């Protein structure tokens, strides 16, 4: 089976529209700070995740506490290069697994071949990343239908990260 771009876009738009309807219905007071959408090219599955500012702040603080410990440890060992890997994180939590409403809505993508990344040795991303970017743009435009913060950010995954491409609201 080949990747079906148009079908994928339709599946993802439905996922997004349904998720926005659901969050407005089930959590009307939830103020969205960050939206993350990912597609797992091997599992042929996608999800939309929502985070709020307070959760993001907590996750960033905990991450920075861990980073500080690691930075001190590696610095004390004289490994400055390793210590540099643990610089403090600024901004927002970008790990969808740590979002307040993680995997809020999920789908099995009929448009995505099973084990696609594995079977193409990663070449699938040349087709999937442009589709994900289109999904990100669509989502960013649709966020007017939800309660969002003035500093909203939408992110989608790519080959290198679960939160690789972003769209941000200008204050």
**At residue 171, does pLDDT exceed 60?**
no
Whole-angstrom distance, CA of residue 55 vs CA of residue 61: 10
> For strand 148-156 and strand 101-108, is the pairing parallel, antiparallel, or unpaired?
unpaired
pLDDT above 70 for 86: yes
**Which residue, 39, 23, 79, is CA-closest to 163?**
39
- State pTM to two decimals: 0.89
pLDDT tens for 118-136 read: 999 999 999 999 999 999 9
Query: In whole angstroms, how large is the CA radius of gyration of the chain?
Result: 18
Average pLDDT taken over every residue of the chain? 94
Q: Give the pLDDT confidence score for residue 31 in this predicted structure.
A: 97
Weakest mean pLDDT among 7-16, 18-27, 67-76, 148-157: 67-76
Alpha carbon distance 33, 56 (integer Å): 8
Q: What is the Cα–Cα distance from 149 to 169, expressed in whole angstroms?
A: 9
For residue 117, CA distances in Å to 15, 86, 127 come to 22, 30, 11
Report whether 35 contacts 155 (CB < 8 A): yes
Q: How far apart are CA 135 and CA 115, in angstroms?
A: 21
39-76 pLDDT tens trace: 999 999 999 999 999 999 999 898 888 888 999 999 99
């Amino acid at each position: 089976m080949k990747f079906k771009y148009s079908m994928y876009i339709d599946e993802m738009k439905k996922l997004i529209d349904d998720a926005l309807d659901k969050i407005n219905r089930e959590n009307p007071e939830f103020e969205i700070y960050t939206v993350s959408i990912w597609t797992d090219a091997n599992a042929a599955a996608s999800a939309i995740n929502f985070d709020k500012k307070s959760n993001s702040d907590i996750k960033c603080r905990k991450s920075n506490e861990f980073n500080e410990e690691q930075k001190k440890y590696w610095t004390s060992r004289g490994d400055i290069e390793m210590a540099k890997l643990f610089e403090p994180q600024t901004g927002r939590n970008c790990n969808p697994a740590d979002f307040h409403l993680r995997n809020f809505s999920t789908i099995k993508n009929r448009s995505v071949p099973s084990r696609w990344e594995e079977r193409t040795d990663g070449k699938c991303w040349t087709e999937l990343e442009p589709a994900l970017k289109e999904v990100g743009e669509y989502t960013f435009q649709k966020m007017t239908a939800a309660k969002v913060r003035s500093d909203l950010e939408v992110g989608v995954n790519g080959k290198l990260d679960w939160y690789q491409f972003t769209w941000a609201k200008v204050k």
